[in-house]
Amino acid sequence: MACNCDDACRDLHLYLDGEATVAVRTAISAHLECCPSCADAFHFEAQVRLVVARCCCEEPVPESLRVRVLQAIYTADP
């Protein structure tokens, strides 16, 4: 399977929101296995969501925060 980080990055959110189709989830799982940087991003994003959901389940996550977090992930690449 070809690694396509743009697709994986976009579909990551569907996956985490539980809105991805089975086909998309399968593709993401396959991509995460062959792409450590996307796997890191996935786990980081999943953890952020967990913390956010726990701390402020009443509050929607601001898009600006999401963007900042994702930028931090992708600019922190070794």
Euclidean distance between CA atoms 66 and 74, whole angstroms? 12
Compute the least distance from the CB of residue 39 to Zn ion, in Å. Answer: 8
Query: Of 62 and 78, which has the nearer Cβ to Zn ion?
Result: 78
Residues that bind Zn ion (CB under 5 A): 5, 8, 35, 38
The DSSP string of 21-40 is: -HHHHHHHHHHHHH-HHHHH
Compute the least distance from the CB of residue 40 to Zn ion, in Å. Answer: 10
Euclidean distance between CA atoms 13 and 77, whole angstroms? 20
Compute the least distance from the CB of residue 63 to Zn ion, in Å. Answer: 22
Query: Of 30 and 52, which has the nearer Cβ to Zn ion?
Result: 30
DSSP 2: -
